[in-house]
Structure 1
Amino acid sequence: MANEMQKTTPFGMRDKVGYMFGDFANDFTFILSSSFLMKFYTDVMGVSAGVVGMIMMIARFVDAFTDVTMGQIVDRSKPTRDGKFRPWLKRMCGPVAIASFLIFQSGLAGMSYGFKVAWLFVTYILWGSIFYTSVNIPYGSMASAISADPKDRAELSTWRTIGSTLASLVIGVGTPMVAYVTVNGQTVLSGSRMTIIAGVFSVCAILCYLLCFNLVRERVDVPANNSKMDIGKMLKSVFTNRALLGIIAAALFLLLAMLTMQGMAGYVFPNFYGSAAAQSTASLLSSVLILLVCAPFASKLANRFGKKELATVSCIVATVLEVICFVLKPANVWVYVGFFCAAFICLGFFNTIIWAMITDVIDDSEVRNGIREDGTIYAVYSFARKLGQAFSSGLTGGLLTMIGYSAATAFDPEVTMGIFNISCIAPAIGFVAVALSLFFIYPLTKQKVEENVAALAQRHNK
């Protein structure tokens, strides 16, 4: 049973702020990796973009086992005096932060090529496939234990997005301002500065995880799943769950669009436009606009029109913006910043409500199967997000290799034009795929979600 004091403490701002700090903590390592790992290993460590992308994709196959295993561990664990999910934040915050720091070790740049590839492979697996999984899945699953009220969960989703946006603000704006230096008139990434930045962010991640642990309370008892583990039954449940498959497809392509935008920003701004300052400004503006536009209005629009409906329309608009930018090919960097920020706002509407959509999927599964499987469903979804991260890294690395990008050709006109084209085309493809996935696969319309909430309320009150 959960701690009685936790259950009697009413849901409020303390929980929302605490849950925000949890995503802030996650993104101190996640956004740093998605935005700068490829750049660090190509430009500082001298590893081929194709090799880096391949390692990231291989790691995601490892996640197919570690994510689902962690989901089962969480579902089968017994609640403690601190709750069922919260204890994992305290247990694993140190390992995930240390592993992230080890990835960005510029002092190893002089080692052999094989050693550097091996170092990246081992540290990246430890960070993303083991330690990040062991803290992120309990954190994401915890939302349904904080409150049973769908409105409270929607607010948690919004505050989680606020945490992610603040992390993007700190990392996306601050890192380029500190990490880049000018050498012979060219804007290049400093390896030693990146190592220091990674260390600072790792400490910040630990502090934010501990804040989340201390501020959030679990009020809903989620008993341990003591049923015999049946892999075949679990896989059948996953592959016949249309809502889960729909959100998985949408999440995969959402990450493809979002992380390609973030990853290519590290190339298009310094290499095509020659302005690291514009990269910081774009991150600043997009983050501020998400806080001012998406965070206040996403929940209200979703409540009125439906989460699925809002997400689909926002992705269609983002696609149009990326296509227009590709056709115009603005020579002025600030025009490109405008397109970047507008597309990111569209992305932000979906990203703000997607966590509430996951709880809708969990509710739908309980209505159909009569079993609450928060950890397992969230683990499958988390794996899909990591696939999106891997595919974007693999795609980015492969496309950069295809256009001939290397440290020696980084500023050749043909290569920089290829960088610009990738920065528009790849996200546009991702946005189109998200919209199609939501429209044709994901079944949880506004009406269906309301029916599920009513059915569960009636079932739980019996």
Structure 2
Amino acid sequence: MLPFGFKDKLGYLFGDFGNDFFFTLVASFLMVYYTDVFHLNPASVGGLFLLARLWDAVADVSWGRFIDSRRAGKNGKFKPWIFRMSFPLVISGILMFIHIPGMSSGFYTAYAYVTYILWGTLYSTVNIPYGSMASVISGDPVERTTLSTWRSFGAVLAQLIVGVSAPLVMFVNNKADANHFLMGAIIFGILAISSYMACYKLTVERVVMDDTDKPKGQFAKTLKGFAKNRPLIFFYIASLVFLLSLMISGAVGIYLFKDYFGNTKALSMVSLFSSATLIIGMPLAKPLVKKFGKKEVAAAGFLLATVVFFILYLLPNVTAMQFIGISSIGIFGYNLFNLVSWAFVTDVVDYHESLTGLREDATIYSFYSFIRKVGQALAGGIGGVALGAVGYNPTLQVQTHSTLNGIHTLATLVPAIGLFVVFAIFAFLYPLNKKRTAQLANDLAEKRTEANSGKTA
């Protein structure tokens, strides 16, 4: 078997590259597709997002436990599921963007519910094994951190492609166009399936767990461990609030540029600048974490982002490009967390192992995905309700002045408040600072060495 190397890193990059073609498309543009093409009420769309994400959250945990109960086959434990489920996932993604003209509002609502929930369920069947796979590609913590960085790079590449090209392809004369949305979905679907196949071909699952020694009926012990795991609890809460802030800002951002600035083409620049901040942060993240620690770097980044978005709230008269330029500084701040977030997951997995003696990468990853889905659910629900609350009316050519001001507030002050909460959690509540994280890794290494010595004695 070939040692861990460049092919694994490239293959793992392709996994999130494939994931984010549709994830970014859905997160950024599905709301405006439903309101402006299907002509659904924003509040009803918010209800759909809430219900679907809550269902997906349950599906994530169920699928994670299912995967943990499977034995590894010839091609590994996780890779086969990526191969099997990626095709129906991509097909369901394209189905979301099919518009049949002349149907009733009830038909469009039902069609949106069925196709969106189907896509979200199938997304779990690919994303959970993909995210869990890092623990079996390599057993080395440093190599796993490298995989996290490459994963982030794959995600940002897809976000860059979708964010820059989608506004140019899917809007005609500043309006959402049904045929162009479908064309974009097909193109991104082809890119997604190609990426999943590259992930399957290039990665190797090297770490094979001994399933014969796995204790049965341990879920109660797992949950008790979760309840005592303070790093896991505060990391999950911080991630939930962060994702909630980010998703609301992203969903409202479409309307900010479409209606407040009257410039949907500038959305391409938003994605370009956002991706650039992550790329700039990539070579900085590792030395910053090495010197200060993950907790410390994340807290500083969130504080910077809080200040920037609050300043934007106080500057309602800036141009679209000025808004993009200033917000990029804040995006750089919270992207420092995005770059190391998967390493945080590894830390809380280690802490869980130290508490319970159980190494449950897939289960903890699925619960993290559960938290993310809850955040998406709440963001979709709150975003739709908030748009309705500020008076957004998709039938109007020009929104009212109060609605435009409300959209600006939702895009600036709301994320500023959320980001400040996340800063406070990491700065004052999350317990694993640089020193404690290093000590935890050393303690676990010693325990494993002693356990292995006992088996060979």
Report the TM-score when normalising by structure 2.
Answer: 0.94
User: Aligned to 1:276, what secondary structure does the other structure show?
Assistant: coil
> For residue 305 of structure 1, what is the aligned residue in structure 2?
292
**Does 2:143 match 1:152?**
yes
Q: CA deviation at 1:264?
A: 2.0
Which segments of 5 or more consecutive residues in structure 2 lack a partner in the other structure? Answer: 451-457
1:53 equivalent to 2:46? Answer yes
Match for residue 455 of structure 1? 443
Alignment coverage as a number of residue pairs? 448
Shifted more, 315-324 versus 272-281: the winner is 272-281
Instruction: Quote the Cα distance in structure 2 between the aligned partners of 1:438 and 1:46.
Output: 41
Q: Which residue number in structure 2 is paired with residue 382 of structure 1?
A: 369
Displacement of 1:409 after TM fit? 3.3
Matched, 1:44 2:37: yes
In 2, Cα distance between the equivalents of 1:18 and 1:346?
Answer: 28
Q: Which aligned pairs between 1:322-333 and structure 2 lie closer than 5 A?
A: 322-333=309-320
Separation (CA, whole Å) in 2 of partners of 1:235 and 1:389: 23
Corresponding residue to 2:260 among 272, 280, 289: 272
Shift of residue 231 of structure 1? 4.9
Number of the residue aligned with 2:158 = 167
Structure 1 residue matching 2:422: 3-state secondary structure: helix
CA contact (8 A) 2:305 2:333 kept: yes
1:32 to 25, 28, 42: 25
Secondary structure of the residue that 1:106 maps to in structure 2?
coil
Contact 1:155 1:299 in 2 (8 A): no
Please state how far the C-alpha of 1:454 moved relative to its aligned partner. Answer: 1.2
> Structure 1, residues 340-389: CA drift from partner, whole Å, max 9, x if none?
21221112110010011111111111121111111110110001111111
- Between the aligned partners of 1:98 and 1:442, the Cα distance in structure 2 is 41
Counterparts of 1:17-416 in structure 2, within 5 Å, are: 17-107=10-100, 109-128=101-120, 130-182=121-173, 187-224=174-211, 226-229=214-217, 231-291=219-279, 293-409=280-396, 411-412=398-399, 413-416=401-404
Distance in 1, Cα, partners of 2:397 & 2:299: 36
8 Å Cα contact 2:57/2:373 also seen in 1: no
Secondary structure in structure 1 of the residue aligned to 2:172: strand
- Alpha carbons 2:58, 2:370 under 8 Å: kept: no
Contact 1:158 1:299 in 2 (8 A): no
Matches of 1:139 and 1:45, distance apart in 2? 33
Cα-to-partner distance string for 1:147-176 (whole Å, 9 max, x where unaligned): 222221221111111111111100111000
Conservation of the 8 A alpha-carbon contact between 1:84 and 1:222: no
C-alpha spacing 1:118/1:230, structure 2 compared with 1 (3 Å): farther
Provide the aligned C-alpha RMSD in A.
1.6
Measured against aligned partners, the alpha-carbon deviations of 1:167-205 in whole angstroms (never above 9, x if no partner) come to: 1100111000111111xxxx2111110011111111211
Which amino acid in structure 1 is aligned with residue 198 of structure 2?
A: L
Moved over 6 A (4+): none
Q: Which moved further from structure 2: 440-449 or 26-35? A: 440-449
Deviation at 1:81, TM superposition (A): 1.6
Mapped partners of 1:73, 1:392: distance in 2:
28
Q: Are the equivalent residues in 1 in contact too, given 2:247–2:379 (CA < 8 A)?
A: yes
Asked whether the 8 Å contact 1:254–1:434 carries over to 2, the reply is yes
Distance 1:229 1:411, change over 3 A: farther
Query: Offset of 1:230 from its aligned partner?
Result: 5.2
Amino acid at match of 1:146: I
Instruction: Go from structure 1 to structure 2 and tell me whether the alpha carbon gap of 1:290 and 1:65 turns closer, same or farther (over 3 Å shift).
Output: closer
Preserved contact between residue 57 and residue 369 of structure 2 (Cα < 8 Å): no
Aligned-pair distance for 1:259? 1.9
Structure 1 residue 432 corresponds to structure 2 residue 432:
no
TM-score, normalising length: structure 1: 0.93
Structure 1 spans left out of the alignment, 5+ residues: none
Q: Secondary structure at the match of 2:266?
A: helix
Kept in 2, the 8 Å contact 1:93–1:135? The answer is: yes
Rounded to whole Å, the distance in 2 between the matches of 1:222 and 1:319 is 43
**Structure 1 residues 64 and 270: CA distance shift in structure 2, 3 A:** closer
